[in-house]
Chain A
Protein backbone atom coordinates (compact mmCIF):
# COMPACT_ATOMS: atom_id res chain seq x y z
CA UNK A 1 0.00 0.00 0.00
CA UNK A 2 1.44 3.38 -0.97
CA UNK A 3 1.52 5.78 2.02
CA UNK A 4 -0.18 8.66 0.20
CA UNK A 5 -0.51 10.72 3.38
CA UNK A 6 3.25 10.73 3.89
CA UNK A 7 3.95 11.24 0.18
CA UNK A 8 1.54 14.16 0.01
CA UNK A 9 3.09 15.69 3.12
CA UNK A 10 6.55 15.36 1.64
CA UNK A 11 5.76 16.51 -1.91
CA UNK A 12 3.51 19.40 -1.12
CA UNK A 13 6.30 21.45 0.46
CA UNK A 14 8.36 21.70 -2.73
CA UNK A 15 5.89 23.82 -4.73
CA UNK A 16 5.09 25.95 -1.67
CA UNK A 17 8.71 26.72 -0.86
CA UNK A 18 9.83 27.15 -4.48
CA UNK A 19 6.94 29.43 -5.43
CA UNK A 20 7.51 31.69 -2.41
CA UNK A 21 11.24 31.70 -3.14
CA UNK A 22 10.64 32.51 -6.80
CA UNK A 23 8.32 35.39 -5.90
CA UNK A 24 10.88 36.75 -3.43
CA UNK A 25 13.66 36.55 -6.07
CA UNK A 26 11.49 38.39 -8.59
CA UNK A 27 10.70 41.21 -6.19
CA UNK A 28 14.30 41.57 -5.05
CA UNK A 29 15.53 41.63 -8.66
CA UNK A 30 13.00 44.33 -9.56
CA UNK A 31 13.58 46.47 -6.48
CA UNK A 32 17.36 46.16 -6.64
CA UNK A 33 17.71 46.04 -10.40
CA UNK A 34 21.02 47.93 -10.32
CA UNK A 35 22.66 45.13 -8.38
CA UNK A 36 25.10 43.07 -10.47
CA UNK A 37 23.29 39.84 -9.64
CA UNK A 38 19.75 41.09 -10.37
CA UNK A 39 19.79 39.34 -13.74
CA UNK A 40 20.92 36.09 -12.12
CA UNK A 41 18.12 36.42 -9.58
CA UNK A 42 15.61 36.57 -12.44
CA UNK A 43 17.08 33.35 -13.84
CA UNK A 44 16.89 31.71 -10.42
CA UNK A 45 13.25 32.78 -10.06
CA UNK A 46 12.45 31.35 -13.53
CA UNK A 47 13.91 27.93 -12.73
CA UNK A 48 12.44 27.90 -9.22
CA UNK A 49 9.01 28.63 -10.71
CA UNK A 50 9.39 25.91 -13.35
CA UNK A 51 10.41 23.32 -10.74
CA UNK A 52 7.58 24.50 -8.45
CA UNK A 53 5.08 23.91 -11.26
CA UNK A 54 6.51 20.44 -11.95
CA UNK A 55 6.55 19.56 -8.24
CA UNK A 56 2.93 20.70 -7.91
CA UNK A 57 1.89 17.75 -10.10
CA UNK A 58 3.34 15.37 -7.53
CA UNK A 59 1.54 17.20 -4.74
CA UNK A 60 -1.76 17.19 -6.64
CA UNK A 61 -1.58 13.53 -7.70
CA UNK A 62 -0.70 12.35 -4.17
CA UNK A 63 -3.46 14.58 -2.79
CA UNK A 64 -6.07 13.13 -5.14
CA UNK A 65 -4.99 9.60 -4.22
CA UNK A 66 -5.10 10.49 -0.53
CA UNK A 67 -8.59 12.00 -0.71
CA UNK A 68 -9.90 9.20 -3.00
CA UNK A 69 -10.77 11.76 -5.65
CA UNK A 70 -12.83 14.03 -3.39
CA UNK A 71 -11.79 17.36 -4.89
CA UNK A 72 -13.95 19.68 -2.73
CA UNK A 73 -15.32 18.36 0.57
CA UNK A 74 -16.45 20.28 3.65
CA UNK A 75 -14.85 22.15 6.54
CA UNK A 76 -11.06 22.59 6.45
CA UNK A 77 -10.94 19.92 3.76
CA UNK A 78 -13.15 22.08 1.56
CA UNK A 79 -11.21 25.27 2.34
CA UNK A 80 -7.94 23.52 1.51
CA UNK A 81 -9.35 22.66 -1.91
CA UNK A 82 -10.88 26.08 -2.53
CA UNK A 83 -7.37 27.51 -2.39
CA UNK A 84 -5.49 24.58 -3.93
CA UNK A 85 -7.21 24.50 -7.31
CA UNK A 86 -6.87 28.21 -8.19
CA UNK A 87 -3.29 28.10 -6.88
CA UNK A 88 -2.47 25.05 -9.03
CA UNK A 89 -4.03 26.55 -12.16
CA UNK A 90 -2.33 29.90 -11.62
CA UNK A 91 1.04 28.32 -10.85
CA UNK A 92 0.98 26.26 -14.05
CA UNK A 93 -0.15 29.27 -16.10
CA UNK A 94 2.54 31.54 -14.65
CA UNK A 95 5.25 28.93 -15.27
CA UNK A 96 4.18 28.44 -18.89
CA UNK A 97 3.99 32.19 -19.51
CA UNK A 98 7.37 32.78 -17.93
CA UNK A 99 9.02 29.97 -19.88
CA UNK A 100 7.63 31.38 -23.14
CA UNK A 101 8.45 35.02 -22.46
CA UNK A 102 11.66 34.58 -20.43
CA UNK A 103 13.20 38.05 -19.92
CA UNK A 104 11.40 39.73 -22.82
CA UNK A 105 8.79 41.27 -20.55
CA UNK A 106 7.19 44.65 -21.11
CA UNK A 107 6.68 46.94 -18.13
CA UNK A 108 2.96 46.12 -18.08
CA UNK A 109 3.69 42.38 -18.45
CA UNK A 110 6.15 42.48 -15.56
CA UNK A 111 3.71 44.34 -13.29
CA UNK A 112 0.89 41.92 -14.10
CA UNK A 113 3.23 38.95 -13.62
CA UNK A 114 4.38 40.20 -10.20
CA UNK A 115 0.80 40.81 -9.06
CA UNK A 116 -0.21 37.29 -10.16
CA UNK A 117 2.87 35.80 -8.47
CA UNK A 118 1.82 37.51 -5.23
CA UNK A 119 -1.71 36.20 -5.68
CA UNK A 120 -0.43 32.66 -6.37
CA UNK A 121 1.81 32.85 -3.30
CA UNK A 122 -1.14 33.93 -1.16
CA UNK A 123 -3.32 31.12 -2.53
CA UNK A 124 -0.59 28.53 -1.98
CA UNK A 125 0.06 29.82 1.55
CA UNK A 126 -3.67 29.65 2.37
CA UNK A 127 -3.93 26.14 0.91
CA UNK A 128 -0.91 25.13 2.99
CA UNK A 129 -2.46 26.66 6.10
CA UNK A 130 -5.70 24.70 5.72
CA UNK A 131 -3.68 21.60 4.81
CA UNK A 132 -1.90 21.97 8.14
CA UNK A 133 -5.21 22.47 9.92
CA UNK A 134 -6.43 19.26 8.27
CA UNK A 135 -3.46 17.42 9.66
CA UNK A 136 -4.10 18.76 13.15
CA UNK A 137 -7.84 18.19 13.06
CA UNK A 138 -7.69 14.84 11.25
CA UNK A 139 -9.64 15.66 8.15
CA UNK A 140 -11.29 18.82 9.43
CA UNK A 141 -14.69 17.23 9.86
CA UNK A 142 -17.15 20.05 10.54
Chain B
Protein backbone atom coordinates (compact mmCIF):
# COMPACT_ATOMS: atom_id res chain seq x y z
CA UNK B 1 0.00 0.00 0.00
CA UNK B 2 0.98 3.65 0.22
CA UNK B 3 3.79 4.92 2.44
CA UNK B 4 3.36 7.60 5.12
CA UNK B 5 5.00 10.18 2.84
CA UNK B 6 2.59 9.32 0.04
CA UNK B 7 -0.41 9.65 2.36
CA UNK B 8 0.88 13.02 3.61
CA UNK B 9 1.38 14.07 0.00
CA UNK B 10 -2.14 12.95 -0.92
CA UNK B 11 -3.60 14.91 2.00
CA UNK B 12 -1.68 18.04 0.99
CA UNK B 13 -2.74 17.53 -2.64
CA UNK B 14 -6.44 17.19 -1.83
CA UNK B 15 -6.44 20.17 0.55
CA UNK B 16 -4.55 22.40 -1.94
CA UNK B 17 -6.78 21.40 -4.81
CA UNK B 18 -10.02 21.96 -2.86
CA UNK B 19 -8.84 25.33 -1.53
CA UNK B 20 -7.77 26.53 -4.99
CA UNK B 21 -11.02 25.36 -6.61
CA UNK B 22 -13.07 27.00 -3.85
CA UNK B 23 -11.13 30.26 -4.27
CA UNK B 24 -11.56 30.10 -8.05
CA UNK B 25 -15.32 29.56 -7.81
CA UNK B 26 -15.72 32.25 -5.18
CA UNK B 27 -13.77 34.80 -7.23
CA UNK B 28 -15.60 33.80 -10.42
CA UNK B 29 -18.97 34.05 -8.66
CA UNK B 30 -18.20 37.52 -7.34
CA UNK B 31 -17.04 38.68 -10.77
CA UNK B 32 -20.10 37.20 -12.47
CA UNK B 33 -22.55 38.69 -9.97
CA UNK B 34 -20.97 42.09 -10.43
CA UNK B 35 -21.19 41.84 -14.21
CA UNK B 36 -24.78 40.51 -14.17
CA UNK B 37 -25.83 43.26 -11.75
CA UNK B 38 -24.27 45.96 -13.92
CA UNK B 39 -26.07 44.72 -17.03
CA UNK B 40 -29.36 43.70 -15.38
CA UNK B 41 -32.29 45.91 -16.29
CA UNK B 42 -34.25 46.95 -13.23
CA UNK B 43 -31.40 47.01 -10.77
CA UNK B 44 -29.86 50.39 -10.06
CA UNK B 45 -32.72 51.58 -12.27
CA UNK B 46 -31.39 54.68 -13.94
CA UNK B 47 -27.88 53.39 -14.62
CA UNK B 48 -29.18 50.11 -16.04
CA UNK B 49 -31.76 51.90 -18.16
CA UNK B 50 -29.14 54.26 -19.54
CA UNK B 51 -26.90 51.31 -20.27
CA UNK B 52 -29.66 49.53 -22.17
CA UNK B 53 -30.48 52.70 -24.14
CA UNK B 54 -26.83 53.03 -25.06
CA UNK B 55 -26.77 49.36 -26.00
CA UNK B 56 -29.84 49.79 -28.18
CA UNK B 57 -27.91 52.37 -30.19
CA UNK B 58 -25.01 49.98 -30.67
CA UNK B 59 -27.46 47.22 -31.57
CA UNK B 60 -29.00 49.27 -34.38
CA UNK B 61 -25.55 50.31 -35.50
CA UNK B 62 -23.96 46.88 -35.72
CA UNK B 63 -26.41 44.03 -35.08
CA UNK B 64 -29.74 44.98 -36.61
CA UNK B 65 -28.51 44.53 -40.19
CA UNK B 66 -28.39 40.78 -39.70
CA UNK B 67 -30.50 40.06 -36.61
CA UNK B 68 -33.32 42.39 -37.62
CA UNK B 69 -34.44 45.67 -36.10
CA UNK B 70 -36.69 43.78 -33.69
CA UNK B 71 -33.89 41.28 -33.02
CA UNK B 72 -36.24 38.51 -34.13
CA UNK B 73 -33.79 37.14 -36.68
CA UNK B 74 -32.95 37.73 -40.31
CA UNK B 75 -32.21 35.56 -43.33
CA UNK B 76 -28.73 34.68 -42.15
CA UNK B 77 -28.87 35.36 -38.44
CA UNK B 78 -30.93 33.88 -35.61
CA UNK B 79 -33.41 35.62 -33.35
CA UNK B 80 -31.94 37.18 -30.22
CA UNK B 81 -35.24 37.23 -28.39
CA UNK B 82 -35.43 35.12 -25.25
CA UNK B 83 -31.77 34.04 -25.34
CA UNK B 84 -31.17 31.24 -22.86
CA UNK B 85 -27.57 32.14 -22.10
CA UNK B 86 -25.98 34.28 -19.40
CA UNK B 87 -24.95 37.89 -19.95
CA UNK B 88 -21.33 36.84 -19.66
CA UNK B 89 -21.85 34.28 -22.40
CA UNK B 90 -23.54 36.89 -24.62
CA UNK B 91 -20.55 39.20 -24.10
CA UNK B 92 -18.20 36.38 -25.05
CA UNK B 93 -20.04 35.79 -28.35
CA UNK B 94 -20.13 39.52 -29.15
CA UNK B 95 -16.42 39.86 -28.49
CA UNK B 96 -15.27 36.61 -30.10
CA UNK B 97 -17.71 36.41 -33.01
CA UNK B 98 -18.63 33.16 -34.73
CA UNK B 99 -16.15 31.90 -37.27
CA UNK B 100 -17.59 32.16 -40.77
CA UNK B 101 -20.90 33.48 -39.46
CA UNK B 102 -20.53 36.53 -37.27
CA UNK B 103 -17.64 38.99 -36.98
CA UNK B 104 -15.89 39.77 -33.72
CA UNK B 105 -16.78 43.14 -32.25
CA UNK B 106 -13.89 43.20 -29.77
CA UNK B 107 -12.08 45.97 -31.65
CA UNK B 108 -15.17 48.03 -32.31
CA UNK B 109 -16.67 47.93 -28.83
CA UNK B 110 -14.89 48.06 -25.50
CA UNK B 111 -15.97 46.19 -22.35
CA UNK B 112 -18.50 48.84 -21.33
CA UNK B 113 -20.01 49.02 -24.80
CA UNK B 114 -20.42 45.26 -24.88
CA UNK B 115 -22.01 45.42 -21.42
CA UNK B 116 -24.44 47.99 -22.83
CA UNK B 117 -25.39 45.69 -25.73
CA UNK B 118 -25.85 42.81 -23.28
CA UNK B 119 -28.05 45.05 -21.10
CA UNK B 120 -30.19 45.84 -24.14
CA UNK B 121 -30.45 42.17 -25.18
CA UNK B 122 -31.62 41.31 -21.67
CA UNK B 123 -34.50 43.74 -22.05
CA UNK B 124 -35.72 41.60 -24.95
CA UNK B 125 -36.40 38.57 -22.74
Contacts and interface: CB of A to CB of B under 8 A. Distances in A.
Contacts of B66: none
A92 B17 contact: yes
A31 interface: no
A138 B91 CA distance: 11
Given A96-B17, A106-B2, A108-B1, A64 B31 contact: yes
A137 B25 contact: no
Contacts of A98: 9
B86 interface: yes
Contact of B12 (A97, A105, A138): A97
Interface residues of A, number: 42
Contact of B87 (A68, A101, A139): A68
B88 A70 contact: yes
Contacts of A36: none
Contacts of A77: 85, 89, 92
B96 A93 contact: no
Contacts of B5: 100-101, 104
Q: By CB atoms of chain B within 10 A, which of A3, A93, A106, A134 has the most? A: A93
B88 A69 contact: yes
Interface in B11-57: 12-14, 16-18, 20-21, 24-25, 27-35
A71 B32 contact: yes
A60 B95 CA distance: 18
Interface stretch (A11-19, A22-30, A82-90): A82-90
Which 9 interchain pairs have the tightest Cβ spacing?
A138-B98, A69-B32, A69-B31, A68-B88, A100-B9, A70-B88, A139-B93, A93-B17, A93-B13
6 contacts: A71-B32, A100-B8, A101-B6, A138-B101, A139-B93, A139-B98
Given A70-B88, A92-B13, 14 more contacts: A69-B34, A73-B88, A74-B89, A89-B17, A89-B20, A89-B21, A96-B9, A104-B6, A108-B2, A134-B96, A135-B99, A138-B97, A138-B102, A141-B85
